[in-house]
Amino acid sequence: MTISIDHHDILKALELFKLEVTDYYLEFTDRVIYMYWVACPKDIEDYIAQGNACLDLQVKGTWLTLDQYEEDYIERPFINCRYILATD
For residues 81 and 77, give the distance between their C-alpha atoms in angstroms, rounded to a whole number.
Answer: 13
Query: Pick from 45, 52, 46: which is nearest to 85 by CA?
Result: 52
Q: What is the pLDDT of residues 47-80, one digit of tens each?
A: 888 888 899 999 888 999 888 877 666 666 889 9
pTM score, two decimals? 0.89
